[in-house]
Amino acid sequence: MASSKEMTAGKPLTLIFSFTLPLLLGNLLQQTYSLIDAAIVGKFLGINALASVGASTSVVFLILGFCNGCCCGFGIPVAQKFGARDYETMRRYVAVSLQLAVVMSISIAVITSLFCSNILRIMQTPENIFEDAYLYLLVTFIGVPCTFFYNLLASIIRALGDSKTPFYFLIFSTVLNVLLDLFCILILGWGVLGAGIATVIAQGVSAVLCYFYMYRHFQIIQGDKNDRKFRPRLAGNLLGIGVPMGLQFSITAIGSIMLQSANNALGTACVAAFTAAARVKMFFMCPYESLGIAMATYVGQNYGAGKPERVWQGIKSSVGMMLIYAVFTFTVLMLASKQVLYLFVDPGETEILKDAMLYLHVSAIFFPLVGLLCILRYSIQGAGFTKLSMFSGVAEMIARILVSLLAVPVWGYTAVCLGDATAWLFADLFLVPAFYYVYQKIKQIKPV
């Protein structure tokens, strides 16, 4: 029988680290099959195919980021009610969140699938990769319900203090994705389309496994028919927290789309370099994202339990862990970025390798900014101030738009490499005073 875990007592450093580790491994697995997709496509199908997968990366982040943000938001009331030991309301939040997920995920899948071609045209996707980019994007959008439900169920399970179970399911899903990649691309000859299909199926399997495991093994959420009724008030609360979190990701992605569109206009070589480097960057960013997600649960539970002093202790512990990892990442990417990029690009593609290495070196220098961003943003969200955290996404969007409109036309690909760092800086300039404001508010709560 699986067990839930409270994070309202004990050493914050130990609790956050132990909770983050399975999250990190899970995120690394997710990024691993993103890397595998790119590696298999780049090695077996060529540079144009790799560029077609990467041409729509930012718009995929726009849609899937909104879904993931909503799912994280839906988990916050669950974590808060769990911390407050109000298990009846917690079960009802779980039921309503699943009902909302059905309607939202299907609606998003239908609408986005209809506009795939228009999106790629707006993003100035090169004609020689347009068809493959369209097929990959279409399959990704059709598979939105699979992504939505996996992220929601994983968020609920994490809200109960269990970050290990989603990781175990993800191991199986990742292995399945690799096998399906090879089968669809090498055996069936489906090309880029096969890579997309493999990823969607793997995520769908993860979602199904999470659902059945959660309801069979967590007694704390096994209620009666009354607990499973749709409740408009709870739905309103969930949407009030989840939608701003989703919009935060989407708003951030709008800036990324602008930046990627500017990069797409620079030609296929720049698109391929960006695609390879972005995959590696996201892999190394997993610990920052995982630490942030852990802080959302940690802050949510302690906020619900009326223990604001533990929130600040958690912030200090997480920043310390983040800085240690940032030094490690800087060292690795500065010394071995070329060797890592050989996974995607042949050594003979010297121009692409040079551009991709520049992107990774710039990212490594500024990673502490994104680490601080993740910790503060998710902590603010965990306290329920999701509308406030959304404005940090606005700051990121403004920064990327300014870079794409003003800097890229002058400095070209070099400016593209600086786009993320500029966005992280803008977001932190907002988040630091925003967290101070939130912390002053939550210090006023009384212990339960």
DSSP track, 226-244: GGGS--HHHHHHHHHHHHH
Please give the tally of structural domains in the chain: 1
CA 387, 140, 421, 118 dihedral sign is: negative
Res 246: pLDDT: 81
**To the nearest 10°, the Cα dihedral for 204, 64, 155, 306?**
-170
Q: Which of 38-47, 360-369, 420-429 shows the lowest per-residue confidence on average (mean pLDDT)? A: 38-47
DSSP string, 5-31: ---SSS-HHHHHHHHHHHHHHHHHHHH
Residue 7 resides in a domain = no
Percent of the chain with pLDDT over 90: 13
The token duo for 81 is: 């009610």
Q: What pLDDT, in 10s, does the model give residues 9-65? A: 778 888 888 877 777 777 776 666 666 666 677 666 766 666 666 666 667 777 887
Nearest to 295, CA basis, from 75, 42, 2, 3 = 75
Q: Full-prediction pTM beyond 0.85? A: no
pLDDT at residue 299 is higher than 90: no
Q: Which of 28-37, 111-120, 206-215 shows the lowest per-residue confidence on average (mean pLDDT)? A: 28-37
Mean pLDDT of 365-370: 94
The token duo for 321 is: 């862990």
Residue 5 resides in a domain = no
pLDDT at residue 409 is higher than 50: yes
pLDDT at residue 166 is higher than 90: no
Query: What is the spatial distance between Cα 21 and Cα 27, in angstroms, rounded to a whole number?
Result: 10
Residue 4 resides in a domain = no
pLDDT at residue 411 is higher than 90: no
Residue 183 resides in a domain = yes
Where is pLDDT greater, at 218 or 356? Answer: 356
Query: What is the spatial distance between Cα 443 and Cα 40, in angstroms, rounded to a whole number?
Result: 51
CA 360, 166, 149, 249 dihedral sign is: negative
The token duo for 348 is: 């003979």
Res 422: pLDDT: 92
**To the nearest 10°, the Cα dihedral for 140, 144, 149, 152?**
100
Report the Cα 313 to chain-centroid distance in Å: 25
61-99 burial: b if 16+ Cβ within 10 Å, else e: bbbbbbbbbbbbbbbbbbbbbbbbeeeebbbbbbbbbbb
Q: Answer left, alpha or beta for residue 313, where phi above 0 means left and psi between -120 and 50 means alpha.
A: alpha
Residue 448 resides in a domain = no
Res 311: pLDDT: 85
- Domain assignment of residue 350, given as a range: 12-442
Percent of the chain with pLDDT over 70: 90
pLDDT at residue 134 is higher than 90: no
Where is pLDDT greater, at 33 or 187? Answer: 187
Q: Which of 112-121, 246-255, 334-343, 410-419 shows the lowest per-residue confidence on average (mean pLDDT)? A: 246-255
Mean pLDDT of 399-421: 87
Mean pLDDT of 294-322: 85
Res 319: pLDDT: 92
DSSP class of 186: I
pLDDT at residue 428 is higher than 90: yes
Res 448: pLDDT: 47
